[in-house]
Amino acid sequence: MRRPTPLESALGSGLFLVGVLSAACSSSTPSAPIPAPAPALWGDLKPVVSVKELMNDMIDPASDNIFNAVRTVIGEKGIVETEPKTDEDWGKVRIGAVTMAEGIYLLKIPRPIAPPGELNNSVGPDASELAPDQIKAKLEADPVLWNAKIEALRNIGLEILEIVKRKDARELGDAGEILDQACENCHLEYWYPDEKDLMKKLDRRLLSDGKATR
């Protein structure tokens, strides 16, 4: 039999020492095999459409399943209140909530903001929106903020999923308002920030008016 080289014996005793130490630290249960770390993703993610199209063709229509579920319409027939009643009605809300919670993560895949050539309402004297290039620059300068807006929308989607389990129409009405705010919070940051400045100015004016009257 070949004698172990000095390195091999050193390694062997080292391993032995590690074995003794870990046995001393852990309880008497035999250590379970460590599972291989899961891959970050199961495959590549490739975008198909721009942010704008994703909004129009997925996020916006799916959010209507939530927004339209609880409504009060005052019309010719008087006050008509709508709320989910059947399993099918609640199923529709669930589709909306899953699409919000899962679908909004698609905004984490780098993709064009708008189809090529589209400038939004970003030119001319009445320009009130950022151009897609400006939106992209803003996003890339601070991806943490972009992600925070995404997570905020996801959280309300998750909340609505819980409400669907409880079938609580009143809570769903309130959640719809929070969902609307989560949409607006991102739009005010990235799409039409002028309106944000305007609202801040209004807030300040209200505050200073409040002080003046006190």
Nearer to ligand HEC, 22 or 56 (CB): 56
Of 17-46, binders to ligand HEC (CB under 6 A) are: none
| Residue 202 token pair | 């209004």
C-alpha torsion angle, residues 212, 198, 142, 44 (rounded to 10): 140
- Which residues from 92-151 bind ligand HEC, rule CB under 6 A? 104, 107, 113-114, 120, 132, 135, 146, 149-150
Find the shortest distance in angstroms from Cβ 110 to ligand HEC. 13
Residue corresponding to tokens 């130490």: 21
Q: Which residue has the tokens 């807030």?
A: 203
CB 93, CB 84: distance < 8 Å: yes
Using the contact rule CB under 6 A, the part of the chain among 19-27, 51-59, 169-177, 205-213 near ligand HEC is 51-59
CB-wise, 150 or 168, nearer to ligand HEC? 150
Of 55 and 169, which has the nearer Cβ to ligand HEC?
Answer: 55
Q: Which is nearer to ligand HEC, 87 or 151 (CB)?
A: 151
Instruction: Return all residues near 31 (Cβ < 8 A) that are at least 6 apart.
Output: 22
Tell me how far apart the alpha carbons of residues 74 and 183 are, in angstroms, rounded to a whole number: 26
Nearer Cβ to ligand HEC (87/194): 194
> Residue 23 and residue 183: Cα distance in Å, rounded?
53
Q: Any idea what the Cα angle at residue 199 is, between residues 53 and 195, rounded to 5°?
A: 30
Closest approach of Cβ 102 to ligand HEC, in Å? 13
CB 43, min distance to ligand HEC, A: 23
**CA 99 vs CA 59, 94, 128, 161, 172: distances in Å:** 7, 8, 29, 11, 16
Among 69, 101, 160, 186, binds ligand HEC (CB under 6 A): 186
Q: Which is nearer to ligand HEC, 9 or 121 (CB)?
A: 121
The span from the CA of 116 to the CA of 134, in Å, is 14
Interface with ligand HEC in residues 54-73 (CB under 6 A):
55-56, 59-60, 63
What's the token pair of residue 35?
Answer: 């599972």
Asked if 65 and 95 count as a contact pair (C-beta separation under 8 A), the reply is yes
Instruction: Provide the binding-site residues for ligand HEC, judged by CB under 6 A.
Output: 51-52, 55-56, 59-60, 63, 104, 107, 113-114, 120, 132, 135, 146, 149-150, 153, 179, 182-183, 186-187, 190-191
